[in-house]
Structure formats: structure tokens, C-alpha cells
């Protein structure tokens, strides 16, 4: 086994030990209750379903069928659940909580919320948001089922560290997807530096798209003249593509440009950037100039586009 992989394995095991201790699941009873963690999860699942079969519970929780069967029998003896034959499959039994089982769930739920409240109260609001964002990232990386809700994100002004992120993300993405060299990253760094040094709060803007505390896109609108603005550095993280974020960023530029009195927006791009070109075309931009050039280690076709406001 390679050393770097072994270090990652040990790092993950260390986190597991830390977190299981943090939330107290190593104790004999979860939250000082008479239930183990697994038993509490079974009660939780039944409380959030009108009815469920043992097979459905086993699949959801990844439990051994024999272990789950023993748990169900124990819950029956304690009058926490009732079993009824399934109308769809006579071989299956439908499980549901009794009034006593519902009462035990409410007690567990209250204890769990109080415990988490105690943990969160030790953190600032920013730290709380960072913690929840990190947890969401872990879920996503480990293959959690996507929530059945609209993909939510926010557009906001840049904060400390965002300009560095813009430079880094552009450098990495264009190197990986188009083979552009470090000269492109240097150009992005110069554009960002000029924006910060010469920022006109009345006529210029930068928007950062953020989801769960993580940057997933950005765009700049800078002053080119009193009548014209320039759209620059539109980027969307690959994992957030196809969700309309690029369109939303471009639309924000258009809305702001009209609001402050610009008569047109220009932008410079390259013909290989097909997704971006499609967004510009759909937003009403027209191609006004095209010329070949060798930049960033590649032969390219540069394009100038304009949108009349």
C-alpha cells in the first residue's frame, strides 16, 4: 500500500474516532437512553414513514437481516412497534410505531436536538455555517443520495480570499480542460489585481456563486468607458454545470449594466469555449470580431462579442 494512501486511511480513521466520541455513540445507551445507535435509527426511520417493511428498513440502513429481525422481535415485546401483513406481499410484514414507540422517538429526538444545540452553541455563526458546509461536502463525496429539492445557491459580493480563488480556479480549470499554460493564470491574476486596485463601486461588480459554503462560480463586470462595460472571467465549477449558474451570472451582469446606464457590454472569449459561447448567444450577444492568435501555449481563435442594451 502506498504511503500517501495509508496516511489518508489513518486520517479518516482518526476523524471517525474523534466524531464518534464527540456525539457519544460509544456509550452503552445512545444519549443515556435504553437504545443503541442502531435501535434508535430504526425508531427514527419508522417515525418518518407511515409504514415500512423490514426489508425496506434493512436496505435503507444497510443492516444484516438477522440482526434486524432480532431488533424487530425485541421492539414487539416492548410494545414499541406493531406488525401487520403486507397487502402487496403476504411474505412481508408492515411495521409501524405504537403510541409508546412514538413517545420514545419524541424523547430521543428531543435529546438529540439538545445535544447538537450544545455543540453548535460553542461555535460562532460563521463556524456553524462552515461546519454544516463541510458535512454536506462529506455526504456528497461519499455518495449520499441527492436531496429531492431545487439546487440552491447564492450570488454574493466577493469576500476575503475570493480573488485568490478566482485566479486559482481559472488556472486549474483551463489547464485541465484545454491545456492552457501558466500564462493564462498570470493574465487572470492581472485582471483581478486591476479590478481590485481600480474598483469603481458605482459602475463595476464581481459576483461569486456559492453553495454550502463553497465557491462554484464567478464573473466580473468592469468599466471600459462611460457607455460600455466589459464582462470578464466567467467561470462555473465543473460539478455545478448544467444548472443555469452561468446564465444567471451573465444575466446579473446585464441587469446591473442597464441599471447604471451602460449602453453595451463587450467580452472577449475563444472559439473553443463552446459552453460559454452558447450562454452569450442565448443572452443576445453578437459576434463582432474574430482573429487567430497563439496564446497560453495554444493556437486559438479569439472572439469579441457585444450586447447592445
The predicted pLDDT at position 255 comes to 95
Cell of 290: 474574430
Average pLDDT for residues 251-258, to the nearest whole number? 96
- Determine how β-strand 264-270 pairs with β-strand 228-236: parallel
The predicted pLDDT at position 145 comes to 56
Average pLDDT for residues 182-190, to the nearest whole number? 97
What whole-number distance in Å separates Cα of residue 296 and Cα of residue 270? 12
Highest mean pLDDT among 74-83, 139-148, 262-271: 262-271
Helix axes 65-77, 54-61, angle to 10 degrees: 120
State the CB neighbour count (10 A cutoff) for residue 288: 10
Tell how far CA 51 is from the center of its chain.
32
**Which of residues 21 and 140 earns the better pLDDT score?**
21
Length of the chain: 309
Average pLDDT, the chain: 89
Residue 149 in this model has a pLDDT that exceeds 50: no
Residue 37 in this model has a pLDDT that exceeds 60: yes
Tell how far CA 259 is from the center of its chain.
31
The predicted pLDDT at position 210 comes to 92
Q: Domains in the chain and their CATH numbers?
A: 3-122 (1.10.10.10), 154-308 (3.40.630.30)
Summarised one tens digit per residue, pLDDT across range 38-83 is 888 888 888 887 678 888 888 888 888 888 889 888 998 999 988 8
Find the Cα–Cα–Cα–Cα dihedral 179, 181, 183, 189, rounded to 10°: 70
- Phi, psi (rounded to 5 degrees) for 103: -65, -40
Looking at the DSSP bridge assignments, the partners of residue 303 are 269, 290
| 10 pLDDT tier (thresholds 50, 70, 90) | very high
What whole-number distance in Å separates Cα of residue 84 and Cα of residue 130? 45
What whole-number distance in Å separates Cα of residue 228 and Cα of residue 230? 7
| 138 pLDDT tier (thresholds 50, 70, 90) | confident
**Which of residues 284 and 112 earns the better pLDDT score?**
284
Looking at the DSSP bridge assignments, the partners of residue 219 are 207
Residue 101 in this model has a pLDDT that exceeds 80: yes
Q: Where would I find the H helices in the chain?
A: 3-22, 37-47, 54-61, 65-77, 99-121, 125-141, 162-178, 182-197, 245-259, 274-282
The predicted pLDDT at position 148 comes to 44
What whole-number distance in Å separates Cα of residue 258 and Cα of residue 42? 56
Range name among 12-21, 80-89, 213-222 with the lowest pLDDT average: 80-89
| 150 pLDDT tier (thresholds 50, 70, 90) | low
The predicted pLDDT at position 36 comes to 83
Amino acid at each position: 500500500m502506498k504511503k500517501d494512501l495509508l496516511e489518508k486511511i489513518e486520517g479518516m480513521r482518526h476523524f471517525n474516532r474523534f466524531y464518534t466520541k464527540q456525539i457519544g455513540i460509544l456509550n452503552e445507551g445512545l444519549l443515556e437512553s435504553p437504545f443503541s445507535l442502531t435501535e434508535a435509527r430504526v425508531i427514527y426511520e419508522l417515525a418518518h414513514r407511515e409504514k415500512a417493511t423490514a426489508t425496506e428498513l434493512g436496505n435503507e440502513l444497510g443492516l444484516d437481516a438477522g440482526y434486524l429481525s432480532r431488533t424487530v422481535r425485541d421492539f414487539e415485546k416492548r410494545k414499541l412497534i406493531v406488525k401487520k401483513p403486507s397487502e402487496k406481499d403476504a411474505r412481508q410484514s408492515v411495521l409501524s410505531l405504537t403510541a409508546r414507540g412514538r413517545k420514545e422517538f419524541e424523547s430521543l429526538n428531543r435529546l438529540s436536538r439538545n445535544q447538537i444545540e450544545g455543540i453548535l452553541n460553542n461555535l460562532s455563526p460563521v463556524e456553524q455555517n462552515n461546519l454544516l458546509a463541510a458535512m454536506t461536502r462529506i455526504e456528497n463525496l461519499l455518495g449520499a443520495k441527492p436531496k429531492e429539492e431545487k439546487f440552491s445557491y447564492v450570488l454574493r459580493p466577493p469576500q476575503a480570499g475570493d480573488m485568490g480563488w478566482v485566479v486559482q480556479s481559472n488556472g486549474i480549470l483551463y489547464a485541465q480542460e484545454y491545456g492552457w499554460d501558466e500564462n493564462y493564470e498570470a493574465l487572470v491574476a492581472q485582471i483581478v489585481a486591476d479590478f481590485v486596485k481600480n474598483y469603481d463601486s458605482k459602475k463595476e461588480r464581481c459576483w461569486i456563486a456559492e453553495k454550502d459554503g463553497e465557491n462554484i462560480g464567478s464573473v466580473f463586470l468592469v468599466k471600459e468607458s462611460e457607455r460600455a462595460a466589459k464582462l470578464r472571467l466567467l467561470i462555473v465549477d465543473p460539478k455545478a454545470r448544467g444548472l443555469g449558474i452561468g446564465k444567471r451570472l451573465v444575466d446579473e451582469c446585464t441587469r446591473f449594466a442597464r441599471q447604471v446606464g451602460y449602453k453595451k457590454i463587450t467580452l472577449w472569449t475563444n472559439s473553443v469555449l463552446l459552453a460559454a459561447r452558447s450562454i452569450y448567444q442565448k443572452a443576445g450577444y453578437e459576434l463582432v470580431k474574430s482573429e487567430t492568435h497563439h496564446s497560453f501555449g495554444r493556437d486559438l481563435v479569439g472572439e469579441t462579442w457585444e450586447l447592445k442594451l
